């Protein structure tokens, strides 16, 4: 508990020090206010956003639109990536066939294939969700496959000796053992998904945090841009904390010898 408190206060001190440095830089005009508004200016703009909204939408509508897109993309990515990861983790032939394709597209930034998605699927909501899902897909499938390949062969042979079918081995041996890696992949993928949100909301969006930032940047409303960035970071960090707690609850044995 003492270690936890120590880490907590170190984190708080670091954040406060950065805010103080930011405020000092703004007060001494080290950077023009157009490029770096003060923390107070950002706070005032956030309060204005909270009360009046922006671009004919409230803050909650922008937040809800972004959460819906990321949430749907996460569900879509997990529903495809986990089965694919298990399959290529078990089957060497599938791994040889599919893994190069995943590794080929994984380093490509979403903005690179954004025009192609627009050409193929138009500018509707599906294109936005698909772009985010593709960004989440690769980390989840790679982590799942690594988790499956790291499952102890002794456990698999023990299950086979007891007459377990292939489905039972996957369900009761491989999946629980690979779950820590799968959840780690989901955490990484969700972070990448949030970073892709701004690109996704370039596609004819009228609501969303990414749209808000892009629109504000076009009018050089820098304090609103910073407020939007901090809001995205806060939401993403909150979801990361939730996933960490979920991971500890679902796989308490992770990191322990057993």
Res 60 pLDDT > 80: yes
Q: Please give the pLDDT value at position 103.
A: 87
Q: Are residues 74 and 161 in the same domain?
A: yes
Q: Are residues 85 and 201 in the same domain?
A: yes
Q: Are residues 14 and 77 in the same domain?
A: no
Does residue 237 form part of some domain?
A: yes
Please list, residue by residue across 153-178, b when 16 or more beta carbons sit within 10 angstroms of its beta carbon and e when fewer do: eeebeebeeeebeeeebbeebbbebb
pLDDT > 70 in the chain, percent: 97
Q: Please give the pLDDT value at position 162.
A: 84
Q: Are residues 47 and 22 in the same domain?
A: no
Residue 195 sits in which domain range?
Answer: 37-250
Res 73 pLDDT > 60: yes
Does residue 20 form part of some domain?
A: yes
Q: Are residues 18 and 146 in the same domain?
A: no
Q: Are residues 120 and 79 in the same domain?
A: yes
Give the 3-state secondary structure of the chain.
Answer: CHHHHHHHHHHHHHHHHHHHHHHHHHHCCCCCCCCCCCHHHHHHHHHHHHHHCCCCCCHHHHHHHHHHHHHHHHHHHHHHHHHHHHHHHHCHHHHHHHHHHHHHHCCCCHHHHHHHHHHHHCCCHHHHHHHHHHHHHHHHHHHHHHHHHCCCHHHHHHHHHCCCCHHHHHHHHHHHHHHHHHHHHHHHHHHHHHHHHHHHCCCCCCCCHHHHHHHHHHCCCHHHHHHHHHHHHHHHHHHHHHHHHHHHHHCCCCCCCC
| CA 5/CA 11 separation, integer angstroms | 10
Q: Are residues 126 and 223 in the same domain?
A: yes
Mean pLDDT for all residues in the chain: 88
Q: What is the pLDDT of residues 100-137, one digit of tens each?
A: 898 888 888 888 888 899 899 988 899 999 999 999 99
Q: Are residues 15 and 110 in the same domain?
A: no
Does residue 258 form part of some domain?
A: no
CATH of the domain at 193: 1.10.3720.10
Q: Are residues 8 and 120 in the same domain?
A: no
Total domains, the chain: 2
Q: What is the pLDDT of residues 161-181, one digit of tens each?
A: 888 888 888 888 888 889 989
Q: Are residues 26 and 51 in the same domain?
A: no
Q: Are residues 122 and 89 in the same domain?
A: yes
Q: What is the pLDDT of residues 23-42, one digit of tens each?
A: 999 888 898 888 889 999 99
Instruction: Name the band, by pLDDT with cuts 50, 70 and 90, for residue 258.
Output: very low
Mean pLDDT of 201-220: 88
């Amino acid at each position: 508990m003492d270690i936890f408190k120590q880490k907590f206060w170190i984190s708080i001190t670091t954040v406060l020090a950065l805010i103080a440095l930011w405020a000092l830089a703004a007060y001494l005009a080290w950077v023009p206010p157009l490029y770096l508004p003060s923390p107070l200016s950002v706070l005032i703009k956030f309060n204005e956003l909270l009360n009046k909204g922006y671009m004919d939408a409230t803050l909650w509508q922008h937040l809800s639109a972004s959460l819906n897109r990321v949430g749907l993309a996460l569900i879509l990515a997990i529903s495809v990536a986990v089965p694919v990861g298990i399959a290529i983790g078990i089957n060497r032939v599938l791994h040889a066939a599919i893994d190069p394709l995943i590794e080929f597209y994984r380093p490509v930034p979403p903005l690179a294939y954004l025009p192609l998605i627009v050409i193929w699927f138009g500018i509707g909501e599906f294109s936005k969700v698909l772009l985010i899902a593709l960004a989440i897909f690769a980390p989840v499938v790679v982590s799942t496959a690594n988790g499956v390949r790291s499952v102890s062969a002794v456990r698999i042979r023990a299950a086979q000796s007891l007459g377990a079918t292939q489905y039972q081995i996957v369900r009761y041996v491989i999946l629980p053992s690979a779950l820590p890696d799968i959840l780690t992949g989901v955490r990484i993928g969700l972070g990448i998904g949030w970073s892709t949100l701004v690109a996704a909301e370039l596609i004819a969006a009228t609501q969303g945090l990414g749209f808000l930032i892009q629109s504000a940047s076009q009018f050089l409303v820098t304090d609103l841009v910073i407020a939007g960035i901090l809001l995205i970071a806060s939401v993403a960090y909150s979801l990361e904390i939730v996933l960490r707690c979920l991971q500890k609850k679902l796989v308490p044995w992770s990191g322990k010898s057993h």
